[in-house]
Amino acid sequence: MPPFNSLVIFLLCAASCSTLYLKSRVTFDLLTGFAISVNYLIGFTMRVLRWNCFIQIQVLIDFLPYQLLSADSKSIIKLMPFIEDGFFPGYAEVASNDSNNKVRTVRIDKSFGDYHVGVTFAPWAVSITFESQKSVGYHTLVTLLDHVLKLFNATFEQENIKGGRVSVVINDAYKSSPENEGRLYSKFFKLDSKPVEWMFRNVLVEQFKDEKIFNILSITKAPAVINVKGNIFEGDSILINVDNNTHPDNSDLRFSMRDSGFIKDLLNEALENIKDVKEL
Protein backbone atom coordinates (compact mmCIF):
# COMPACT_ATOMS: atom_id res chain seq x y z
CA MET A 1 0.00 0.00 0.00
CA PRO A 2 1.69 3.25 -1.02
CA PRO A 3 2.60 5.51 1.93
CA PHE A 4 0.42 3.37 4.21
CA ASN A 5 1.39 1.95 7.56
CA SER A 6 2.90 -1.51 7.33
CA LEU A 7 1.10 -3.96 9.59
CA VAL A 8 2.67 -7.41 9.81
CA ILE A 9 0.93 -10.05 11.91
CA PHE A 10 2.37 -13.35 13.15
CA LEU A 11 -0.33 -15.48 14.76
CA LEU A 12 0.75 -17.21 17.94
CA CYS A 13 -2.00 -19.83 17.77
CA ALA A 14 -0.98 -22.29 15.04
CA ALA A 15 -4.39 -23.93 14.98
CA SER A 16 -5.96 -20.84 13.45
CA CYS A 17 -3.25 -19.91 10.97
CA SER A 18 -3.59 -19.84 7.17
CA THR A 19 -0.68 -19.02 4.90
CA LEU A 20 -0.05 -18.61 1.18
CA TYR A 21 3.59 -19.06 0.22
CA LEU A 22 4.53 -18.05 -3.33
CA LYS A 23 7.90 -19.69 -3.89
CA SER A 24 10.84 -17.28 -4.26
CA ARG A 25 8.49 -14.35 -3.96
CA VAL A 26 6.42 -13.49 -0.92
CA THR A 27 4.30 -15.06 1.77
CA PHE A 28 0.79 -13.95 2.65
CA ASP A 29 -0.96 -14.78 5.89
CA LEU A 30 -4.46 -15.32 4.54
CA LEU A 31 -5.99 -14.97 7.97
CA THR A 32 -4.77 -11.40 8.27
CA GLY A 33 -3.96 -10.32 4.74
CA PHE A 34 -0.59 -8.81 5.49
CA ALA A 35 2.64 -9.62 3.71
CA ILE A 36 5.16 -11.40 5.90
CA SER A 37 8.71 -12.58 5.32
CA VAL A 38 9.70 -15.03 2.59
CA ASN A 39 10.05 -18.68 3.64
CA TYR A 40 7.72 -18.28 6.64
CA LEU A 41 5.64 -21.44 6.98
CA ILE A 42 4.02 -22.84 10.11
CA GLY A 43 5.74 -26.07 11.15
CA PHE A 44 3.12 -28.47 12.46
CA THR A 45 1.35 -31.61 11.21
CA MET A 46 0.37 -31.09 7.55
CA ARG A 47 -2.36 -32.77 5.51
CA VAL A 48 -3.02 -32.48 1.77
CA LEU A 49 -5.76 -29.95 1.13
CA ARG A 50 -8.35 -30.33 -1.62
CA TRP A 51 -8.30 -26.74 -2.69
CA ASN A 52 -9.79 -24.76 -5.54
CA CYS A 53 -9.92 -21.23 -4.18
CA PHE A 54 -9.20 -19.21 -1.06
CA ILE A 55 -10.36 -15.65 -0.46
CA GLN A 56 -9.40 -13.25 2.31
CA ILE A 57 -10.85 -9.78 2.89
CA GLN A 58 -9.30 -7.32 5.32
CA VAL A 59 -10.81 -4.04 6.52
CA LEU A 60 -8.34 -1.76 8.29
CA ILE A 61 -9.24 1.36 10.28
CA ASP A 62 -5.95 3.19 10.63
CA PHE A 63 -4.37 6.22 12.32
CA LEU A 64 -6.35 5.86 15.54
CA PRO A 65 -5.73 8.66 18.06
CA TYR A 66 -4.67 6.21 20.79
CA GLN A 67 -4.22 2.50 21.47
CA LEU A 68 -7.61 0.91 22.17
CA LEU A 69 -6.40 -2.19 23.99
CA SER A 70 -3.12 -3.24 25.56
CA ALA A 71 -2.05 -6.88 25.50
CA ASP A 72 -3.03 -7.82 29.05
CA SER A 73 -5.78 -9.59 30.97
CA LYS A 74 -7.76 -6.38 31.51
CA SER A 75 -8.18 -6.04 27.76
CA ILE A 76 -9.47 -9.61 27.51
CA ILE A 77 -12.09 -8.80 30.16
CA LYS A 78 -13.11 -5.68 28.24
CA LEU A 79 -13.77 -7.87 25.19
CA MET A 80 -16.61 -9.75 26.93
CA PRO A 81 -19.21 -8.79 24.27
CA PHE A 82 -17.04 -10.66 21.73
CA ILE A 83 -16.22 -13.55 24.06
CA GLU A 84 -19.86 -14.07 25.02
CA ASP A 85 -20.61 -14.24 21.30
CA GLY A 86 -18.12 -17.08 20.90
CA PHE A 87 -14.96 -15.26 19.80
CA PHE A 88 -11.74 -16.84 21.05
CA PRO A 89 -9.26 -14.33 22.53
CA GLY A 90 -5.52 -14.53 22.06
CA TYR A 91 -2.44 -12.51 21.24
CA ALA A 92 -0.50 -11.62 18.09
CA GLU A 93 2.66 -9.73 17.29
CA VAL A 94 2.68 -6.79 14.89
CA ALA A 95 5.52 -4.68 13.53
CA SER A 96 5.88 -1.35 15.23
CA ASN A 97 4.95 1.74 13.24
CA ASP A 98 8.21 3.42 14.22
CA SER A 99 10.70 0.54 14.08
CA ASN A 100 11.18 -3.09 13.11
CA ASN A 101 10.46 -4.17 16.67
CA LYS A 102 7.48 -6.40 17.32
CA VAL A 103 4.59 -5.26 19.49
CA ARG A 104 2.32 -7.70 21.32
CA THR A 105 -1.36 -7.05 20.75
CA VAL A 106 -4.79 -8.61 21.23
CA ARG A 107 -6.55 -10.72 18.59
CA ILE A 108 -9.92 -12.51 18.66
CA ASP A 109 -11.25 -15.15 16.24
CA LYS A 110 -14.47 -16.99 15.46
CA SER A 111 -15.76 -19.27 12.71
CA PHE A 112 -19.19 -18.66 11.20
CA GLY A 113 -19.83 -21.82 9.22
CA ASP A 114 -17.79 -21.50 6.01
CA TYR A 115 -16.31 -18.17 7.08
CA HIS A 116 -13.61 -17.27 9.60
CA VAL A 117 -13.54 -13.82 11.21
CA GLY A 118 -10.64 -12.25 13.10
CA VAL A 119 -10.20 -8.86 14.76
CA THR A 120 -6.75 -7.54 15.67
CA PHE A 121 -6.24 -4.49 17.90
CA ALA A 122 -2.89 -3.02 16.85
CA PRO A 123 -1.56 0.06 18.69
CA TRP A 124 -2.55 2.35 15.79
CA ALA A 125 -5.29 0.42 13.96
CA VAL A 126 -8.10 -2.12 14.09
CA SER A 127 -8.00 -4.90 11.49
CA ILE A 128 -11.08 -6.99 10.68
CA THR A 129 -10.44 -10.01 8.47
CA PHE A 130 -12.72 -12.51 6.77
CA GLU A 131 -11.56 -15.70 5.07
CA SER A 132 -13.24 -18.54 3.25
CA GLN A 133 -12.54 -21.44 0.91
CA LYS A 134 -15.56 -20.45 -1.16
CA SER A 135 -16.68 -17.30 -2.92
CA VAL A 136 -17.93 -14.55 -0.61
CA GLY A 137 -20.60 -12.11 -1.77
CA TYR A 138 -21.07 -8.51 -0.70
CA HIS A 139 -24.25 -9.14 1.31
CA THR A 140 -22.63 -11.97 3.29
CA LEU A 141 -19.62 -9.78 4.06
CA VAL A 142 -21.78 -6.85 5.13
CA THR A 143 -23.78 -9.14 7.44
CA LEU A 144 -20.57 -10.37 9.07
CA LEU A 145 -19.10 -6.85 9.20
CA ASP A 146 -22.25 -5.44 10.82
CA HIS A 147 -22.10 -8.21 13.41
CA VAL A 148 -18.47 -7.41 14.27
CA LEU A 149 -19.12 -3.66 14.41
CA LYS A 150 -22.12 -4.20 16.69
CA LEU A 151 -19.90 -6.10 19.13
CA PHE A 152 -17.13 -3.52 18.72
CA ASN A 153 -19.47 -0.65 19.58
CA ALA A 154 -20.82 -2.60 22.56
CA THR A 155 -17.24 -3.06 23.77
CA PHE A 156 -16.46 0.65 23.40
CA GLU A 157 -19.95 1.95 24.09
CA GLN A 158 -18.68 5.04 25.90
CA GLU A 159 -16.43 6.05 22.99
CA ASN A 160 -16.95 7.04 19.36
CA ILE A 161 -13.82 5.53 17.81
CA LYS A 162 -12.63 7.26 14.64
CA GLY A 163 -9.62 6.68 12.40
CA GLY A 164 -7.80 8.82 9.87
CA ARG A 165 -7.54 6.26 7.06
CA VAL A 166 -9.40 3.19 5.80
CA SER A 167 -8.27 0.35 3.56
CA VAL A 168 -9.93 -2.73 2.12
CA VAL A 169 -7.58 -5.46 0.89
CA ILE A 170 -8.72 -8.62 -0.89
CA ASN A 171 -6.47 -11.62 -1.59
CA ASP A 172 -8.23 -14.02 -3.97
CA ALA A 173 -6.14 -17.13 -4.61
CA TYR A 174 -7.08 -20.09 -6.77
CA LYS A 175 -5.51 -23.05 -8.57
CA SER A 176 -3.96 -22.21 -11.90
CA SER A 177 -4.94 -24.12 -15.03
CA PRO A 178 -3.79 -23.54 -18.64
CA GLU A 179 -7.25 -22.26 -19.51
CA ASN A 180 -7.78 -19.72 -16.71
CA GLU A 181 -4.16 -18.59 -16.72
CA GLY A 182 -4.16 -18.12 -20.50
CA ARG A 183 -7.27 -15.95 -20.46
CA LEU A 184 -5.98 -13.84 -17.58
CA TYR A 185 -2.48 -13.43 -19.05
CA SER A 186 -3.79 -12.33 -22.47
CA LYS A 187 -5.95 -9.68 -20.81
CA PHE A 188 -2.92 -7.84 -19.42
CA PHE A 189 -0.01 -8.88 -21.66
CA LYS A 190 0.46 -9.00 -25.45
CA LEU A 191 3.50 -11.30 -25.65
CA ASP A 192 3.05 -14.44 -27.75
CA SER A 193 5.21 -16.58 -25.45
CA LYS A 194 3.81 -16.94 -21.95
CA PRO A 195 6.37 -17.17 -19.09
CA VAL A 196 6.16 -19.88 -16.44
CA GLU A 197 5.81 -17.23 -13.70
CA TRP A 198 4.59 -13.67 -14.11
CA MET A 199 3.28 -10.68 -12.19
CA PHE A 200 1.14 -7.68 -13.11
CA ARG A 201 0.80 -4.56 -10.92
CA ASN A 202 -1.16 -1.38 -11.51
CA VAL A 203 -1.52 1.61 -9.14
CA LEU A 204 -4.05 4.40 -9.68
CA VAL A 205 -5.02 7.45 -7.66
CA GLU A 206 -8.75 8.00 -8.03
CA GLN A 207 -11.61 10.03 -6.60
CA PHE A 208 -14.06 7.75 -4.79
CA LYS A 209 -17.10 9.38 -3.17
CA ASP A 210 -15.64 12.32 -1.23
CA GLU A 211 -12.22 10.68 -0.80
CA LYS A 212 -9.06 10.40 -2.88
CA ILE A 213 -7.92 6.77 -2.82
CA PHE A 214 -5.16 4.49 -4.03
CA ASN A 215 -6.55 1.68 -6.19
CA ILE A 216 -3.91 -1.04 -6.41
CA LEU A 217 -4.21 -4.24 -8.42
CA SER A 218 -1.61 -7.04 -8.34
CA ILE A 219 -1.84 -10.41 -10.06
CA THR A 220 0.79 -13.10 -9.49
CA LYS A 221 1.09 -16.50 -11.13
CA ALA A 222 3.65 -18.71 -9.40
CA PRO A 223 4.08 -22.04 -7.59
CA ALA A 224 2.51 -21.76 -4.17
CA VAL A 225 1.98 -23.46 -0.86
CA ILE A 226 -1.48 -22.87 0.65
CA ASN A 227 -1.65 -23.62 4.38
CA VAL A 228 -5.14 -23.58 5.86
CA LYS A 229 -5.12 -24.66 9.52
CA GLY A 230 -2.47 -27.27 8.84
CA ASN A 231 -3.98 -28.51 5.57
CA ILE A 232 -1.60 -27.98 2.65
CA PHE A 233 -2.02 -27.44 -1.07
CA GLU A 234 1.10 -27.14 -3.21
CA GLY A 235 1.05 -26.28 -6.90
CA ASP A 236 0.59 -23.50 -9.43
CA SER A 237 -1.56 -20.68 -8.10
CA ILE A 238 -2.94 -17.34 -9.23
CA LEU A 239 -3.24 -14.64 -6.57
CA ILE A 240 -5.31 -11.54 -7.30
CA ASN A 241 -4.70 -8.77 -4.79
CA VAL A 242 -6.81 -5.61 -4.67
CA ASP A 243 -5.90 -2.87 -2.21
CA ASN A 244 -8.10 0.22 -2.00
CA ASN A 245 -7.00 2.71 0.66
CA THR A 246 -7.61 6.37 1.34
CA HIS A 247 -4.91 8.88 0.46
CA PRO A 248 -2.64 10.20 3.26
CA ASP A 249 -3.21 13.82 2.20
CA ASN A 250 -6.19 13.83 4.56
CA SER A 251 -5.59 12.26 7.97
CA ASP A 252 -8.54 13.87 9.78
CA LEU A 253 -10.26 11.48 12.19
CA ARG A 254 -13.43 11.02 10.13
CA PHE A 255 -14.02 7.25 9.76
CA SER A 256 -16.28 6.04 12.57
CA MET A 257 -17.12 2.51 13.63
CA ARG A 258 -20.67 3.72 14.26
CA ASP A 259 -21.13 5.04 10.72
CA SER A 260 -19.73 2.39 8.38
CA GLY A 261 -21.29 3.63 5.13
CA PHE A 262 -18.00 4.60 3.47
CA ILE A 263 -16.28 1.40 4.65
CA LYS A 264 -19.01 -0.69 3.02
CA ASP A 265 -18.82 1.36 -0.18
CA LEU A 266 -15.05 0.79 -0.34
CA LEU A 267 -15.59 -2.91 0.34
CA ASN A 268 -18.07 -3.13 -2.54
CA GLU A 269 -15.62 -1.28 -4.80
CA ALA A 270 -12.85 -3.78 -4.02
CA LEU A 271 -15.17 -6.71 -4.73
CA GLU A 272 -16.12 -5.13 -8.07
CA ASN A 273 -12.39 -4.75 -8.87
CA ILE A 274 -11.93 -8.50 -8.32
CA LYS A 275 -14.99 -9.22 -10.44
CA ASP A 276 -13.67 -7.05 -13.28
CA VAL A 277 -10.43 -9.04 -13.34
CA LYS A 278 -12.16 -12.42 -13.40
CA GLU A 279 -14.75 -11.49 -16.03
CA LEU A 280 -12.71 -12.12 -19.14
> How many residues are there in the chain?
280
Q: What is the pLDDT of residue 231?
A: 67
Q: What is the pLDDT of residue 51?
A: 45
HSE-CB of 157 using CA atoms within 13 angstroms: 8
Host H or E run for residue 153: helix 138-155
Distance (Å, rounded) from C-alpha 83 to C-alpha 242? 31
From the first residue on, what is the mean pLDDT of each consecutive set of 10 residues in the chain (280 residues)?
32 33 38 29 31 80 90 91 96 75 90 94 92 90 96 94 94 87 88 87 96 96 77 82 95 92 96 88
Alpha helix (H) residue ranges in 156-231: 178-188
Q: Return the closest-CA partner of residue 151 out of 68, 86, 65, 74.
A: 86
Q: Return the closest-CA partner of residue 9 out of 40, 32, 42.
A: 32
Q: What is the pLDDT of residue 44?
A: 26
Q: What is the pLDDT of residue 224?
A: 82
Q: What is the pLDDT of residue 233?
A: 73
Three-class DSSP category at 207: strand
Q: Return the closest-CA partner of residue 266 out of 101, 159, 163, 142.
A: 142
Q: What is the pLDDT of residue 225?
A: 79
CB-based contact 227:19 (threshold 8 Å): yes
